[in-house]
Structures are given as C-alpha cells and as structure tokens.
Amino acid sequence: MSLVAQNTFDVEFGTLYALCCAIENCMFLSHGIWLLRTRKLRREAKDAELSFDTFPPAQEWQNRGFKLGFAGKITDMIPRKMSKSDQDVESGSPNGENREGQLETLP
C-alpha cells in the first residue's frame, strides 16, 4: 500500500518488514505445535484442577526437553580443553587435593 501513496520503495525497509513477518509467523507456528504436542497433558492438568506448570507429569515433560538423535554424536566429536574443575573431578578430587591430601598447584 505504501507504493500507492509514494512512488518510491525502500528496499531495506521492505526486506526488514518481510523478515519480521516471517519471524512472527514462525512464533505463531511454534506455539501451535506446542499446543498440539501438549494437548493431552493440558487436558489431564485441567481434569486434576491444576495449572499446566504445576502438574507433575507436565513438569517431567518440560524437564525432559526435546533431544535430537544426532546432537550427542556431534558434540562428542568436538575436542575441548579440560578446565581445572573437570580435571579435579577426573582425578577424584573435588577441592583440588591430590591423593596424599596435599593441595595441588597450578603450573
């Protein structure tokens, strides 16, 4: 409609407006998917006269999250440097002591 009132078109604004519309539509679609996935739990919570957030099976469902099958395999392939706390946990010493009870010094 802006082209009717003006004879010019700002391409940057048009692109940003289209991007914002796409993001809004994705949020709307995401909420719809969530409603479909939780319809049984929401119905059970309503029958138990509890809110979805206080219904124990719904809390378990929320804490379980959405795991992708390949997610762990990819992160296992990435080499990472161990932090001091990770080294302590591997050596069995949560507070930085060696096996003789003496404090370890950092290099």
Q: What is the pLDDT of residues 44-59, one digit of tens each?
A: 999 999 999 999 999 9
User: Does residue 100 lie in a domain region?
Assistant: no
Alpha-carbon span 10 to 92, nearest angstrom? 63
User: Does residue 95 lie in a domain region?
Assistant: no
Measured CA angle at 66 (ends 27, 45), to 5 deg: 80
The count of structural domains within the chain is: 1
Q: How high does pLDDT run on average in the chain?
A: 78
Averaged pLDDT for residues 8-31: 93
pTM value? 0.52
User: Does residue 81 lie in a domain region?
Assistant: no
User: Does residue 31 lie in a domain region?
Assistant: yes
What lies within 8 Å, CB to CB, of 88 at 6+ separation is 94, 95, 96
User: Does residue 13 lie in a domain region?
Assistant: yes
Q: Compute φ and ψ for 97, nearest 5 degrees.
A: -90, 145
- Domain residues for 27? 2-76
